[in-house]
A and B are shown apart, each in its own frame.
Chain A
């Protein structure tokens, strides 16, 4: 395909690539800005003109994870400084001492737990359902698949009104189990559709050969189909994880404290006392890391994922 380019054409190509680079840089400024803000000393966070070069420090992250109190006594401060570990120094410079752990690690743990378990359940159920729809004939197959997908299209706020009442009735409000169940439901339709795409691509001949060799249908599924669908399952799982990890509306309405995840927690810190943007930027950065990593892992499957498996390439 690469045809040697000459003269004008080559120049044109170079200009376009130049424009692409500029667009990319502009596009990434917001992300760069949050991450850089999270490493700024507090006095630079709201500096005008914005500080681009500074000595990065992790004080914002320490503040995010800890509860602190003011130390008024100079002598006490000196004493604390003498035995402080390196990461505590930044906080002491602000005249504060660490007195405990903030709610943030707990919220982050809730995020991890609800995302991981709901992903396992959704991908498990979705894979089975996808196999069922891929290999067997159903009466009104398309209607069933449509039904499954349509549950995903409902606006979360609409579903939450009755769900809130139902959860209250069963005592599932503000529980991890409730949230996991909700995210599983929310993701299972996605998992079914995407997995159906992956399983449709596996030729049925393999299973049939295995069954002729004496495998039962279930063994053929487990030992022949599943290993071949491994990439698809992994990609689907990463997608489900990201969806659950990012989810906001359900968590906002159905959890208040015990089971609350990070997305509703981080903005709620805005309202308390003085807004510490450095800390909020730190929270946002931590939250974005897994997403960024997974996006790179998924890059070959992004198209399939965002179109529910309809477009494959």
Chain B
């Protein structure tokens, strides 16, 4: 940068570059530390205590410092492992569905036709909506008695989705797929439209098959963007709260009890603040691991 060279001349007028630099960056850092990092340190402390936020504070009793017992309890809890399993199942179903539909529609859309912009934007609409509101109105669609899904699929009036422990998770995942396939589509479309036409023309001259072109040209060139979409969607699906909470509240039974929902229950319904903090830290470490990978690939994509 040439700033350094000009610095000697410029420094005398107004604020120095160093002052500007600090003035511009510090407020954001301070805000993030106050509202994000400081509370996290607070809860790290609480994760080593038996503490409930709604009971009166009595030193030695509430909070009662119990060392790593909360972590041990969470990790030994069979129910929590089951919720992890449900969450993984949810992640796999929804992310796989989103890739299948998102990439498929992107392949269809990757050509010139009238009103392409309009149609692309229309399909992208669900992605921009509030997850809670989407969950809410899909509840209306899934209604067994008069919902439009059962009607269109020709299913009987007593065929329950959200009230059926075997199907509830799939119904919530389908809602998630509807909402987030456009995200995968958007990224795939960006990757597809960046593939130079001459590669296909060259393959055409060699009379390459459709499958060959797809496997040797399309896939390798789109894969960096697909990877970003994959990591991002995995991370978001792992964190899912809104859609499932509004649609089923974790039920029926524990059929859709995702990690985030269980954490919410532990912290804000049972008010077991200490144990919830420990649980939160375990989830946090997992998320940081995934997001580390994600940001690394984002930086790579930037250099493309």
- Interface size of B as a range: 35 or more
Known A280-B136, A280-B140, A302-B186; contact A219-B36, beta-carbon cutoff 8 A: no
Residue A231 is within 8 A (CB to CB) of chain B in the complex: no
Task: Known A157-B263, A216-B15; judge A137-B39 contact (CB<8 A).
Answer: no
Question: Of A2, A47, A161, A306, which is within 8 A of B277 by CB?
Answer: A161
Interface string of B132-152 (1 = CB under 8 A from A): 110111101101011010010
Interface of B is mostly: helix
B-side contacts of A48, CB under 8 Å: 145-146, 151, 157
B236-249 interface code vs A (CB 8 A; 1 in, 0 out)? 00010110001000
Assembled-state Cα–Cα distance A287/B121 (Å): 19
In the complex, the answer to whether A217 meets B38 with C-beta atoms within 8 Å is no
A20 touches B146 (CB 8 A): no
- Provide the residues of chain A in CB contact with B108, threshold 8 Å: 16, 19-20, 23
In chain A between 226 and 261, which residues have their CB closer than 8 angstroms to a CB of chain B?
Answer: 242, 245-249, 253
Segment with Cβ contacts to A, from B26-34, B165-173, B213-221: B26-34
Q: By the criterion CB–CB under 8 Å, are A162 and B287 in contact?
A: no
Measured between beta carbons, the chain A residues less than 8 angstroms from B302 are 310-311
Segment from A74-82, A86-94, A100-108, A184-192 that makes contact with B: A184-192
Chain A residues whose CB sits within 8 angstroms of the CB of B46 once the complex forms:
162, 165
Per the 8 Å Cβ criterion, residues 136-190 of A in contact with B are 136-138, 142, 144, 146-151, 153-166, 168, 181-182, 184-185, 188-189
| A20 and B31 contacting across the interface, CB-CB below 8 Å | no
Tell me if B28 and A126 are in contact (CB < 8 A).
Answer: yes
Q: How far is the CB of B173 from chain A (nearest CB, A)?
A: 15
Known interface pairs A132-B21, A264-B132, A308-B298; A163-B287 also in contact (CB < 8 Å): no
Q: State the CA gap A80–B260 with chains docked (Å).
A: 50
- Please provide the chain A residues from 278 to 313 with a CB less than 8 Å away from any CB of chain B in the complex: 280-281, 284, 287-288, 291-292, 294-296, 299, 302-303, 306-308, 310-311, 313
- B162 on the interface (CB 8 Å rule)? no
Q: Which residues of A contact B117 (CB under 8 A)?
A: 299
A65 within 8 A of B: no
Chain A residue numbers with a CB within 8 Å of B25 are 128-129, 132-133, 138, 144
Partner of A33, one of B132, B148, B246, B260: B148
Q: Is A267 part of the contact surface with B, judged by Cβ < 8 Å?
A: yes
Contact of A153 among B6, B151, B291 (CB under 8 A): B291
What distance in Å separates the Cβ of A269 from its nearest Cβ neighbour in chain B? 10
Q: Cβ of A146: which chain B residues have Cβ within 8 Å of it?
A: 295
A45-B141 Cα distance, complex, nearest whole Å: 11
Given A185-B32, A280-B136, A311-B190, check contact A246 B129 (CB 8 Å).
Answer: yes
Contact residues of A: prevailing secondary structure: helix
**Nearest-Cβ distance from residue A247 to partner chain B, whole angstroms:** 8
The 6 A-B pairs with the shortest beta carbon distances in the complex, nearest first, are A216-B14, A162-B39, A162-B43, A246-B130, A132-B24, A248-B132
Do A159 and B39 form a contact, CB below 8 Å, given A34-B137, A219-B14, A307-B228?
yes
Expressed in whole angstroms, the Cα–Cα distance for A219 and B268 within the complex equals 49
Given the contacts A150-B288, A157-B241, A166 and B42 also touching, CB distance less than 8 Å: yes
Do the beta carbons of B225 and A311 come within 8 Å of each other? yes
How near does chain B come to A41, taking the closest CB pair, in angstroms? Answer: 14
CA of A23 to CA of B21 in the docked complex: distance in angstroms?
50
Known contacts A20-B113, A153-B294; decide if A166 and B38 are in contact (CB<8 Å). Answer: yes
